[in-house]
């Protein structure tokens, strides 16, 4: 399957879950409906697409210009040696999406990072807790509303756990 | 006190909770493992990362594309040149820039030297933590010879910022061939010595064979790449799968393991270093000597300006010694010469009005490197695996968003699973063979 037919096959398989297709510097990008992320990913993971690796997950804050956050997933198929980028938009006010925990094992940490940095809630995540910052950190640092040089309040010393 | 962690909530009342790290030499100072123990047996584990989080991605959003290069040095600090390369190549993909052949060869040379020093550091630490202090000293010695090559050319051992968007900063040091061949000879000798000391050492085998083993399926499910994935037998290497630079013209093999245990991770790295040395040798043959500078004495910039009141003085302009290798005559082979991509030649900046203007237009706020609107993902094979950059541009001179796909983030995510059910002593070689690099993991 060439890149064109592959994207067509995915669109046929996923049906209305795909809102659009884009091209970015030669790489294919699929825009997904945010309420069908998990089902779409589960389908893409299986044959014939065989995207066995969740390569990366991150988020981009478009809250100020467009009132949304954009989740960016990168999948990789080892057998076909192709990558695929998928995006899903969430409302900036209360961003929430289904978790991918259960499909890929690294989803647990990747989603914790996006939660920590952007405040996206992953529904069904077993342990949604800050990962790079600490318990008691205020705000979500990669949101555009978070100032670059904001001092965090001191957290109290722990007395012998 | 915040809410309890998972391991605290789920711990059996009769078992013991033990903190390993972050202030523990084997945790490299930047990671904390909470263990639930029954005597020495690990019933459950929880890994806490983030101790070296310094807001790399947030900082980059507030720096220009040119200025943020120095922050990429500090990601994987044992192979900074590969981080430079990953960032520069992502930007080049976005800008549509072609890099001159000579610069591509230099980049391969530098990446492979960095890869060897990355693997040396990982194995040195891992074996030392298993008690093989001699191996640590041998490997650190070999690394010094490799870093000599880097230091002669880039001027720094770790904070290199040598690979720039569009090419490289300067040509190789005039004596690079001698330093490269010394480094290769010394590294080969060390690899041979280490093989003899370790490969069949029963103490080492006892702590690594069958310990920390992961299946192919789990490794893929955790998003493992690089030597750790290859130790399970999957030959995925970005240099082969998605060739960049001139890797498709060079011959090298992708060593794989069989069981995905600590020993295989050690063995894959050892064999990979030999392949990297092969690549360095091939590049050294392909790389011609630097074009000679024009004969005749060089003139100080101020003198050239004074002398050119009536007529432009011909001849060479003397540059500061720290600009050695980036003379105008050499820059053509080293970097894409576009005013919107690279720093203009210093000779022009110092001696002509037009040169000064183009210098300011490159460095002034709001000018300089401004990629078109859009997003891009590109990855290179780092020391730990697929090192990817995802950059979103809104058309200004600063990234709207910059994200690093850190390979060891995915590897360390599997640590809890690998040590569960084992003994405390198994944590050390398992964690050591993962090559956790705090700068890259925590960003």
Q: Which residues of B touch A109 (CB under 8 A)?
A: 409-410, 413
In this prediction, residue A161 carries a pLDDT of 52
CB distance from B59 to chain A under 8 Å? yes
Q: Do B405 and A56 touch (CB under 8 A)?
A: yes
- Which residues are A72's β-sheet partners? A58, A87
Among left, alpha and beta (phi > 0; psi -120 to 50; other), residue A50 is: left
Contact B50 A55 (CB under 8 A): no
Helix or strand run (H / E) with residue B97: none
**Residue B122: HSE in the Cβ half-sphere, 13 Å Cα cutoff:** 32
CA distance A106 to chain B (A): 4
Note whether A22 contacts B: Cβ–Cβ < 8 A.
no
Going by the DSSP 8-state scheme, the letter that residue B335 receives in this structure is B
Quick one: pLDDT band at residue A1, thresholds 50, 70, 90? Answer: low
B56-290+371-442, which class in CATH?
Answer: mainly alpha
Mean pLDDT value across residues A104-122: 92
Burial class (CB in 10 A: 0-12, 13-18, 19+), B297: exposed
By C-alpha distance, the chain A residue nearest B222 is A106
Cβ-based neighbour number of residue B337 at 10 Å? 15
Of B376, B409, B442, the CB nearest to A25: B376
Domain edges within chain B: 6-48, 56-290+371-442, 298-363
If residue B232 lies in a helix (H) or strand (E), which one and from where to where?
none
The pLDDT of residue B1 is: 47
CB atoms within 10 A of CB B313: 15
Pairing of strands A27-32, A82-91: parallel
One digit per residue, pLDDT tens: chain B, 443 residues?
A: 467 888 888 888 888 888 887 888 778 778 889 999 988 899 999 999 988 899 899 999 999 999 999 999 989 888 899 999 999 999 999 998 989 999 999 999 999 999 999 999 999 999 998 888 999 999 999 999 999 999 998 888 888 889 999 889 888 888 899 999 999 999 999 999 999 999 888 989 998 998 989 999 999 999 999 999 999 999 999 999 999 989 999 999 999 999 999 999 999 999 999 999 999 999 999 998 887 777 777 888 877 777 777 776 667 888 888 888 888 878 888 888 877 788 888 888 888 888 889 889 888 888 888 899 989 999 999 989 999 999 999 989 999 999 999 999 999 999 999 999 899 989 999 998 988 888 889 88
Q: Which residues of A touch B413 (CB under 8 A)?
A: 105-106, 108-109
State residue A5's pLDDT score. Answer: 84
Order of all β-strands in the sheet with A68-77: A18-24, A27-32, A82-91, A68-77, A53-62
Q: How is residue B6 written in tokens?
A: 């998972």
d(CA B318, CA B290): 18
Of all helices (H) and strands (E), which one includes residue B256? none
Select the more confidently predicted residue: B311 or A121. Answer: A121
Would you call B254 an interface residue with chain A, using a CB distance cutoff of 8 Å? no
Q: Which residues of A touch B388 (CB under 8 A)?
A: 55-56, 74
Largest interatomic CA distance in chain A: 61
Q: pLDDT for A70-106, tens place per residue?
A: 999 999 998 888 899 999 999 988 899 999 999 999 9
Residue B124, φ and ψ in degrees, nearest 5:
-60, -50
Of A25, A56, A78, the CB nearest to B93: A25
Among the partner-chain residues A25, A109, A130, the one whose CB lies closest to the CB of B413 is A109
pLDDT of residue A2: 65
* Count of other CB atoms within 10 angstroms of residue B258: 12
Contact A55 B57 (CB under 8 A): no
Instruction: Dig out the tokens for B57 from the structure.
Output: 């991605």
B390/A contact by beta carbon, under 8 A? yes
Q: pTM for this one?
A: 0.90
Q: How many CB pairs under 8 A join A and B?
A: 99
Chain B residues whose beta carbon lies within 8 Å of the beta carbon of residue A134: 50
A55/B55 Cβ within 8 A: no
What's the mean per-residue pLDDT of chain A? Answer: 87
Are B55 and B134 in contact, with CB atoms under 8 Å apart?
Answer: no
Q: Do A104 and B223 touch (CB under 8 A)?
A: yes
Its CATH architecture, for the domain A3-123, is 2-Layer Sandwich (3.30)
């Amino acid at each position: 399957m060439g890149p064109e037919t592959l994207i067509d096959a995915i669109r046929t398989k996923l049906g209305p879950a795909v809102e659009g297709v884009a091209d970015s510097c030669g790489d294919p990008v699929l825009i997904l409906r945010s309420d069908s992320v998990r089902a779409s990913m589960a389908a893409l993971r299986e044959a014939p697409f065989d995207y066995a690796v969740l390569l990366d997950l991150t988020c981009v804050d478009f809250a100020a210009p467009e009132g949304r956050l954009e989740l960016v997933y990168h999948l990789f198929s080892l057998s076909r040696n192709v990558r695929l980028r998928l995006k899903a938009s969430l409302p900036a006010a209360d961003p929430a999406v289904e978790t991918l925990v259960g499909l890929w094992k690294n989803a647990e940490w990747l989603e914790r990072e996006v939660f920590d940095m952007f405040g996206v809630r992953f529904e069904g995540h077993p342990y949604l807790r800050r990962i790079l910052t600490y318990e008691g950190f205020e705000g979500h640092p990669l949101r555009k509303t978070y100032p670059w040089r904001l001092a965090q309040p001191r957290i109290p010393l722990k007395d012998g756990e | 006190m915040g809410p309890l962690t998972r391991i605290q909530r789920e711990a059996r009342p009769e078992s013991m909770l033990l903190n390993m790290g972050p202030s523990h030499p084997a945790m490299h100072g930047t990671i904390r493992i909470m263990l639930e123990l029954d005597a020495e047996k690990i019933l459950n584990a929880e890994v806490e990362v983030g101790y070296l989080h310094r807001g790399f991605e947030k900082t980059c959003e507030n720096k220009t594309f040119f200025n943020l290069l120095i922050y990429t040095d500090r990601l994987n600090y044992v192979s900074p040149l590969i981080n430079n390369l990953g960032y520069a190549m992502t930007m080049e993909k976005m800008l549509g820039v072609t890099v001159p052949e000579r610069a591509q060869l230099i980049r391969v040379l530098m990446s492979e030297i960095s890869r060897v020093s990355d693997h040396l550091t990982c194995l040195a630490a891992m074996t030392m933590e298993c008690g093989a202090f001699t191996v640590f000293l041998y490997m650190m010695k070999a690394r010094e010879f490799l870093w000599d090559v880097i230091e002669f050319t880039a001027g720094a051992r770790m904070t290199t910022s040598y690979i720039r968007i569009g090419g490289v900063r300067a040509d190789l040091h005039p004596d690079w061939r001698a330093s490269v061949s010394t480094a290769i000879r010394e590294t080969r000798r060390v690899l041979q010595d280490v093989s003899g000391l370790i490969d069949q050492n029963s103490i080492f085998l006892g702590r690594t064979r069958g310990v920390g083993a992961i299946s192919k399926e789990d490794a893929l499910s955790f998003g493992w790449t690089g030597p750790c994935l290859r130790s399970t037998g999957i030959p995925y290497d970005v240099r082969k799968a998605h060739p960049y630079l001139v890797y498709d013209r060079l011959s090298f093999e992708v060593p794989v393991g069989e069981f995905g245990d600590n020993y295989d991770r050690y063995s894959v790295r050892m064999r990979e270093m030999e392949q990297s040395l092969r690549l360095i040798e091939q590049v050294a043959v392909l790389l011609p000597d630097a074009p000679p500078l024009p004969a005749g004495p060089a003139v100080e910039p101020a003198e050239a300006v004074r002398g050119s009141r009536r007529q432009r003085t011909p001849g060479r302009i003397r540059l500061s010694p720290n600009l050695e290798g980036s003379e105008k005559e050499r820059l053509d082979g080293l970097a894409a010469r576009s005013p919107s991509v690279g720093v203009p030649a210093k000779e022009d900046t110092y001696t002509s009005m037009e040169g000064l203007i183009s210098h300011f237009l490159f460095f002034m706020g709001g000018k300089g490197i401004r990629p078109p609107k859009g997003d891009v993902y590109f990855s290179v094979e780092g020391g730990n695996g697929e090192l990817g950059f995802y950059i979103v541009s809104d058309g200004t001179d600063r990234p709207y968003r910059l994200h690093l796909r850190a390979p060891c983030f995915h590897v360390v995510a599997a640590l809890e699973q690998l040590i569960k059910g084992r003994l405390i002593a198994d944590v050390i070689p398992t964690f050591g063979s993962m090559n956790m690099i705090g700068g890259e993991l925590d960003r």
